[in-house]
Amino acid sequence: MSFRIRKFEKGDFDTLWRIDQDCFDPQLAYSRPEMAFYMRRPGSFTLVAEGEGGEAGNGSLLAGSPGFVILGFIVAETRRKSGHIITIDVVAEARRTGVGSALLRAAEERLLRAGAGAVALETPVNNEAAIRFYKQKGYFVEKTAAGYYSGQLDALVMTKELARSPVG
């Protein structure tokens, strides 16, 4: 699947919010105001992966979509001298095709340019796909944050040294 990474544009918001709703249980998915808050926070940026519509197989949500379709996005931020991944979401039909890798690499490059020496993120302890994905990208589990999600679900806090490890 061919795709490109670009900056967020205002008109993308509803699509990104719907993708987030599809990616996560209601307990974890952002409300619209929450997502807008994280995307607008000082130091925050959003990158979007966009592919040609109609490339996915029959029966896919992407099949027959005209023009470009959004395949995924990442929201990240710089906090003083460290980076933080707020969320990364790839539509189910486009997973395991490198979209998540490209989004994460682009965000890490931008964080590095902004002076971040390391990047941190939180992921639910039961999100095996995400944990495998992040480990494959060089992230290590630093600690468990008990009750991180609404006091009900623990998070793994994962980190990666950007300055020492190659971005990729």
Ligand X SMILES: CC(C)(COP(=O)(O)OP(=O)(O)OC[C@H]1O[C@@H](n2cnc3c(N)ncnc32)[C@H](O)[C@@H]1OP(=O)(O)O)[C@@H](O)C(=O)NCCC(=O)NCCS
Q: Binding residues for ligand X, per CB under 6 A?
A: 23, 87-90, 95-101, 123, 127, 129-130, 132-133, 136
Smallest distance from ligand X to CB 163, Å? 23
Smallest separation (angstroms) from ligand X to the CB of 29: 10
29 or 115: whose CB is closer to ligand X?
Answer: 29
Three-state DSSP state, 144 = strand
Q: Which is nearer to ligand X, 7 or 132 (CB)?
A: 132
Closer of 34 and 115 to ligand X (Cβ): 34
Cα-based distances in Å from 35 to 28, 54, 105, 129: 12, 28, 22, 22
- Closest residue to ligand X using C-beta atoms: 100
Between CA 92 and CA 31 the distance in angstroms is 20
Neighbours of 7 (CB within 10 A): 11
